[in-house]
Amino acid sequence: MTPQPTDRCRQPLEQVSRYLDGDLSAAQRRTVGQHLRRCPCCQHMADSLKHTVDTCHKAGGARLPADVRSRARARIATLLASGAVPPRRA
Amino acid sequence: MQQSRVRFHRRLARLAAAPIRGRIAGVVTDGRNVNPSTSTRSARETDYGALVRAAQGGSQQAMERLLMRAQEIAYRFSLHVCGHADDADDAMQEALLKTYRHAAQIKEPDAFRTWLYRTVKNACLISRRKRVHEPGRLESLDEVVEHADGSVQGIDVPDPGRRPDEVLENSRLRRSLHRALQSLGPEYRLIVFLREVEGLSTREVAQVVGISEANVKTRLHRARLSLRQQLESP
């Protein structure tokens, strides 16, 4: 059974995203880190959020579907072969 | 799809007919067969400032990479934020043409990345508004099919460097992420897409969306909590 958060978990839970992003001051980071080590509920939440963030990161590295990629490539070829010239900076 | 192609060629004709104010000086091609989509660097790792400077210096290879990156971003934006891959072609065309016209003019190449995301965001939203009354044809991530023999057919390009189980795992991952993202409100979906999927910094997200950095952080935390629930639910 997953442990439930208590009143003492409220602040660390609000800061857990910034903790994962390395966006807390040294003192805040220490406080949240200490709480996570003592509280299985918040540690579970932090691990789970990290997994969520990692899942999103993986989606960013995904490749385009083959047909979409081939249309994109064809558009570039058509554009560059069209003689259209990009306006230059004055 | 056909209409989309016709619109592209019309816009291209207008672009070609526009008065020429100058050509990219001395377009340099190094003679290699440049395929912009085979770059080993992902969009997340792309140094857009360097690409823009190279394109402005006349590198056709750099211009091709920029144009491909712009279209990749527009595709992912259509899919993940708008939730409609059928809008992607229009958005990709818009991103392509605007990038082509803008890349040679930009004064601060390092600001190109946020400009590109703003442009794609506007292109996708305009495209969605135009089509809002049309019947939707969702080219969904659900098109990934796992056959009885364990082989996988999906939207991922077959890549000899990736094992079938990796392809399947990525496809499942993307399907569940796609569903989880669609469960978020649009303002949260946009933040998650820019920050987590595309890897923009908090400051860049704030610039693209037009809100404060503090607001980005607050929304991101709420969105992560909601996404987590969605991804963990069976």
pLDDT of residue A86: 65
Q: Please answer yes or no on whether B197 and A57 come within 8 Å at the CB atom.
A: yes
Q: Do B15 and A48 touch (CB under 8 A)?
A: no
Task: Give the E-state strand segments of B33-158 in sequence order.
Answer: 145-146, 152-153
Greatest alpha-carbon pair distance for chain B in Å reads: 59
- The domain boundary, picked from B82, B110, B132, lies at B132
pLDDT of residue B15: 60
Whether A1 maps to a domain, the answer reads: no
CB B225 within 8 A of CB B215: no
Q: What CATH code is carried by the domain that includes residue B110?
A: 1.10.1740.10
As a whole number, mean pLDDT of residues B91-113 equals 88
Q: How far apart are CA B219 and CA B200, in angstroms?
A: 15
Residue B163 pLDDT: 57
The residue behind tokens 């969520």 is A52
User: How far off is chain B from A51, nearest CA to CA, in Å?
Assistant: 8
Tally of domains within chain A: 1
| Both structure tokens of B100 | 């082509």
Same-domain check for residues B205 and B128:
no
For residues B196 and A44, what is the distance between their CA atoms, to the nearest angstrom? 20
- The reply to whether B4 falls in a domain is no
Q: Which of B132, B154, B185 is the last residue of a domain?
A: B132
Tell whether B35 is covered by a domain. Answer: no
Mean pLDDT of B130-138: 46
Residue B136 CB-half CA count within 13 A? 13
What single letter denotes the amino acid at residue B61?
Q
Do B126 and B170 fall into the same domain? no
Q: Work out the percent of chain B whose per-residue pLDDT is above 70.
A: 62
The tens digit of pLDDT for each residue in B160-198 reads: 455 556 656 667 777 788 888 889 998 899 999 999 989
User: A–B: how many Cβ contacts below 8 A?
Assistant: 151
Alpha carbons within 13 angstroms on the beta-carbon side of residue B30 total 7
Domain extent, residue B186, equals: 166-232
Chain B partners of A53 at a C-beta cutoff of 8 Å?
196, 224
| Rounded-to-integer distance, Cα B124 and Cα B186, Å | 13
Enter the tokens of residue B219: 């929304």
- What is the pLDDT of chain B when averaged over all its residues? 73
Q: What is the CATH number of the domain that holds A67?
A: 1.10.10
Please judge whether A58 and B170 are an interchain contact, meaning their C-beta atoms are less than 8 angstroms apart: yes
pLDDT tens-digit readout, A18-75: 999 999 999 999 999 999 999 998 999 899 999 899 888 887 777 788 999 999 999 9
Dist CA B59 CA B51 (whole Å): 9
For B28, phi then psi, to 5°, come to -105, 125
pLDDT at B42 over 60: no
